[in-house]
Amino acid sequence: MVTLTYLLLQMVRILSLETSTTVCSVALHEDGKLITIAEVHLGYSHGSKLATLIDQVMKAGDTELKDLHAVAVSSGPGSYTGLRIGTSTAKGLCYALSIPLIAIGSLELLAEQVNKSNVTKAWLCPMIDARRMEVYCLVMDGEGNIIQPVDARIIEERSFEDHLVKTPIIFFGDGAEKCRSVVNHKNALFISGISPSAAQLGNMAFEKYQRKDLEDVGHFEPFYLKEFRIKRPGNLFEVVPNKIA
């Protein structure tokens, strides 16, 4: 009975790492409620800042690593380097602490952040910059149902027209900024300043933790979506499968 009482009272603490874009974000949640968060908006500084942010968050939350029940990470798509750093750090913590790993799609994370205040139930199109005029995106309705799965898309004037003739769509994320002047339609709505955040990542991770929807730490890899091209002398490229550009 003592053991049962302890389990019932035990609070689930999850450390969340979001590194899929230029923002490096770390948060600590307890039973899905945000305790503390630290973010850096300095371009791709994940390699130099992530460990420091983890330390800051753990100290601010008066929590030791041994007190964690799981680590959550954004699974992509997004920056190849950012996803690689976030994933390797998360997996290292899970191995060392013998705790589970939880993964949340970067675009699904963005959509959840905006859908909380989507009172009109407009369709949502989160976008992550994939360089030039290409973005990683998906389309979902206001109830969270996927209308268009995650893909890499080159944005043109008539992009999303088949959806926009039916309903308003909210475009957001760092990939949406370069689409604002290209996609001209009365039903195309744009929101600026939305980046994937570990604050919402921890909430979504707690729901997965309760469902026991966990990753295999040994085999988990981020969702890079595209190939990663390494430039060689003479304008030659070596193509490494399953990595983004």
Domain ranges (residues) in the chain: 2-106+196-236, 107-190
The pLDDT-based confidence of 234 (bands split at 50, 70, 90) is very low
**What CATH number belongs to 107-190?**
3.30.420.200
**What CATH number belongs to 2-106+196-236?**
3.30.420.40
pLDDT digits (tens, 9 = 90+) for 84-115: 999 999 999 999 999 999 999 999 999 999 99
- The model's pTM is 0.87
Neighbours of 118 (CB within 10 A): 15
Rounded to an integer, what distance in angstroms lies between the CA atom of residue 195 and that of residue 199?
11
Closest CA to 107 of 225, 25, 189: 225
For residue 56, the Cα-to-chain-centroid distance in whole angstroms is: 21
SS3 (DSSP) at 193: coil
Say whether 107-190 and 2-106+196-236 share the same fold: yes
Q: What's the confidence (pLDDT) of residue 233?
A: 44
Rounded to an integer, what distance in angstroms lies between the CA atom of residue 28 and that of residue 87?
17
Give the chain's mean pLDDT.
89
The CA-based angle 31-36-41, given to 5 degrees, is: 130
Distances in Å between the Cα of 57 and the Cα atoms of 41, 43, 110, 213 are: 16, 20, 22, 25
Show the 3-state SS of 94-114: HHHHCCCEEEECHHHHHHHHH
The pLDDT-based confidence of 227 (bands split at 50, 70, 90) is low
